[in-house]
Amino acid sequence: MVGLSGSTQPKQDAKFRRTKIARNQALDRLVTRTQGWRVLRIWEHELTRKYERRLLARFRRHGLIS
């Protein structure tokens, strides 16, 4: 993944992958702007009981639940 701490850049087909990631990011920005979507990134480890309260609080802050 690009831009994440601890991430690495791909070594094989690096140019292709950078181009693909850039296209995906541009499409994501277009869709979120034109469709009025909001992005809330949730990591797999946050889907455990240990993080349940924190995750629910994030949902509330973003108006996803009351």
Q: Tens of pLDDT along 1-19?
A: 445 555 666 678 889 988 9
Q: Produce one character per residue of 20-45: b if its CB has 16 or more CB atoms within 10 Å, e if not.
A: eeeeeeeeeeeeeeeeeeeeeeeeee
Q: What is the pLDDT, as a whole number, of residue 2?
A: 47
Residue 11 is given by DSSP the state S
- Could you report the per-residue pLDDT of 17-63, keeping only the tens digit for each? 889 999 999 998 898 888 888 888 899 999 999 999 999 999 999 99
